[in-house]
Chains A and B, each alone.
Chain A
Amino acid sequence: MTRERLFNALLLAGLVLVPLAAQAADEPFTITLATRAVILALAAVGLNIALGLGGLVSLGHAAFFGIGGYAMGILASHAQSYAPLAEWPILIEGTKSMPVIWLVAILASGLAALVIGALSLRTSGVYFIMITLAFGQMFFFFTISWAAYGGEDGLSIYVRNGFPGLNTLAPLPFYGLCLVLLCAALWLFDRLAKSPFGLALGAARQVPARVAAVGLDPTRLRLVAFVISGAITGLAGALFADLNRFVSPAMLSWQMSGEIMVLVILGGVGRLFGPVAGAVVYVTLEHLLGGITEFWHIFLGLILLGIVLFARGGIVGLVAGRGGGHD
């Protein structure tokens, strides 16, 4: 067992045991913090597919996160006001059922990723960064001006959505759902990375010309990766909105994109458990430093600078040494 696998196993064990211990000690707030970490990790696993496997520096993933959030907000708000979403040409009702909401979130954010990706992937490098950032802003401003769903104030949902057979109002079952989805996404990431598609994608990141020379289309590979990436981040957005029972344009702000990217880098780009380690450390820092000073972002900034300048490879890279991930 390599050090990285040992680290991953320990991390996963911690994610299972800490909330159980918190439940036993009757500290629901710790479970809520852990839920936040797991959901952010899921969003970052999504970005890691584009960033780590595909080498696509997307600074607009908050758009997908927010689209997932609004998918939940819109469906649930229609269900809570008993107003159908559309009556013509077919009757569409709102819903409070999580599986349906997740499916809609995945489809909507995947579709948005398809459109944004198809346009943005016409360019590369620094253009790609700026364009994804700009498209993210476009969705941000759209939600602000979208008065029907709360505009700048956002949407509140009074009761958390339901999942067949589970009491999602209690912290622990909802945490369990989020953790299962995170594990599914990690499994998908691992399978993708080892599949012929993932290998071709990695090759397209390193030497696009050779990939094109053997008859594969690098742009198409990247687009598929971008769509899967956006869809997973969208799913995380729906869960995040459900956790807070609130969705607002802040979920689509460019700072959110930056934060999701920070999680990936903090943990280790391209590493399977990098986003998970990043999210756990981020949420812990936010909680600890945030308790000491309201200016904790200064310290976050300094830590980030330190990582970029001196500790490439992030936390997993520090623990496991080089190899496995990539720069």
Chain B
Amino acid sequence: MSPILIIEQVLNGLQFGVMLFLMAAGLTLIFGVMGLINLAHGSLYMVGAFAAAGVAAATGSFLMALVAAMAAAALAGALVELAVIRRLYDKDHLDQVLATFALILIFSEGTRWLFGSFPLFLDIPDALAGPVTLPGGIQYPLYRLVLIGAGLAVAALLGLLIGRTRLGIRIRAGENDREMIAALGVDISKLYTLVFALGAALAGLAGALVGAIQSVQVGMGEPVLILAFVVIVIGGIGSIRGALVGALLVGLTDTLGGIFLPELFKLVMAPAAATSAGASLASMSIYILMGAVLIWRPTGLFGARA
């Protein structure tokens, strides 16, 4: 186990973590402002990835593909909000779960019907392909470094948006007291559509960015969605900062656990048994992390105290 491998894996974990953050940020924003649990968030991730793959194939431009991914996901999000989601704000969580589960079925089967079951591929642009040499002689894929940078930049922009702009003020006010800001003349339903579209655009961006290193296929959104749930449970629902910390924790735990647990088990067990036991434990590690956080703080690291 060399230090180079460790640094590589830490970078992989960070990359995974910031992509999870893009998903979790939208989810936690939507929950914080509208009080809605949105299972269909993974479908918007998928919409982004398919839009990016389609536009990249047509135009050959990766930047266009990213713009298309965000636009398509935001549009799909806004349409879904207008047609279905806004009827759910006053209903209980069970109805929200069910209706958004129904949306997943419609999105997934609809996409399968349009694009078929075979995965599409989205290529990394030439300028970002290939490895770079980091200080210390570590070879690392440039694209993954760009993902880390892009994710952190989005996190910073989101922080500025929420903390420093008029829209951010309204979003925070909406989290605290929706009747009051409606009484102050803010069009609350327009604000909700906007927040939902913003969350959807973040999910679409994540889908397109990750789509370039994995295959673009139906059902790609749900595993990420569930991990994003774990992230916001750990971070505390409604907290963007919690989402960032939670995402990095989950990303690092998942990646490092998969590498180091089998090695750790080899110290005390036969190699074959250690590999399988380590792999089993590693696949459960983030949920164990979640359980531990819950025992310690039932509302998450940055959640409001109950």
User: Is the C-beta of A183 less than 8 angstroms from some C-beta in chain B?
Assistant: no
Contact A300 B294 (CB under 8 A): no
User: Is the C-beta of B298 less than 8 angstroms from some C-beta in chain A?
Assistant: yes
Q: Of A142-150, A171-179, A189-197, A222-230, which stretch is located at the interface?
A: A142-150
Query: Beta-carbon contacts of A294-320 to B below 8 Å, as 1s and 0s?
Result: 011110111011011100100000000
What is the CA–CA distance of A133 and B230 in the complex, to the nearest angstrom?
A: 9
Contact among A125, A134, A295, A327 for B93, CB-based, below 8 A = A125
Count, A-B residue pairs, CB within 8 A: 120
Listed residue (B87, B103, B109) with the most chain A CB atoms within 10 angstroms of its CB? B109
Contact B226 A137 (CB under 8 A): yes
User: Is the C-beta of A101 less than 8 angstroms from some C-beta in chain B?
Assistant: no
Question: Taking the nearest CB of chain A, how far is it from the CB of B287, in angstroms?
Answer: 4
Contact B98 A261 (CB under 8 A): yes
Task: Report if A145-B276 is in contact (Cβ < 8 Å); known contacts: A123-B298, A129-B37, A138-B287.
Answer: yes
Contact A305 B103 (CB under 8 A): yes
**B141 partner residues in chain A, CB cutoff 8 A:** none
What is the CA–CA distance of A180 and B226 in the complex, to the nearest angstrom?
A: 37
Task: Report if A301-B229 is in contact (Cβ < 8 Å); known contacts: A129-B97, A131-B290.
Answer: no
**B115 partner residues in chain A, CB cutoff 8 A:** none
What is the CA–CA distance of A51 and B98 in the complex, to the nearest angstrom?
A: 13
User: Is the C-beta of B222 less than 8 angstroms from some C-beta in chain A?
Assistant: yes
User: Is the C-beta of A106 less than 8 angstroms from some C-beta in chain B?
Assistant: no
How many B residues, CB 8 Å from partner?
Answer: 45
Contact B109 A298 (CB under 8 A): yes
**B229 partner residues in chain A, CB cutoff 8 A:** 130, 133-134
**B101 partner residues in chain A, CB cutoff 8 A:** 258, 261-262, 304
Contact among B108, B110, B233, B276 for A134, CB-based, below 8 A = B233
Contact A301 B103 (CB under 8 A): yes
Contact among B95, B105, B287 for A135, CB-based, below 8 A = B287
Query: Beta-carbon contacts of B104-141 to A below 8 Å, as 1s and 0s?
Result: 11101110110000000000000000000000000000
Contact A126 B31 (CB under 8 A): yes
How many A residues, CB 8 Å from partner?
Answer: 44
**B92 partner residues in chain A, CB cutoff 8 A:** 327
Contact among B102, B284, B295 for A141, CB-based, below 8 A = B284
Question: Taking the nearest CB of chain B, how far is it from the CB of A326, in angstroms?
Answer: 11
What is the CA–CA distance of A265 and B95 in the complex, to the nearest angstrom?
A: 9
Contact A126 B99 (CB under 8 A): no
What is the CA–CA distance of A262 and B105 in the complex, to the nearest angstrom?
A: 12
Residues of chain A in range 73-125 having any CB-CB distance to chain B below 8 Å: 119, 122-123, 125
Q: Ordered nearest first, which 5 A-B pairs have the shortest CB separation?
A: A301-B105, A304-B102, A138-B287, A141-B283, A301-B106
A-B contact pairs, 21 of them (CB 8 A): A57-B97, A119-B291, A119-B294, A119-B295, A123-B298, A126-B237, A129-B97, A138-B288, A141-B283, A145-B279, A258-B101, A261-B97, A262-B98, A297-B108, A298-B109, A301-B105, A301-B106, A302-B106, A305-B99, A305-B103, A327-B92
5 additional A-B pairs beyond A145-B280, A302-B102, beta carbons within 8 Å, are A119-B291, A122-B294, A131-B294, A145-B283, A297-B105
Residues in chain A within 8 A of chain B (CB atoms): 51, 57, 59, 119, 122-123, 125-127, 129-131, 133-135, 137-138, 141-142, 144-148, 254, 258, 261-262, 265, 269, 295-298, 300-302, 304-305, 307-309, 312, 327
Residues in chain B within 8 A of chain A (CB atoms): 31, 37, 84, 87-88, 91-95, 97-99, 101-106, 108-110, 112-113, 222, 226, 229-230, 232-233, 237, 276, 279-280, 282-284, 287-288, 290-291, 294-295, 298-299
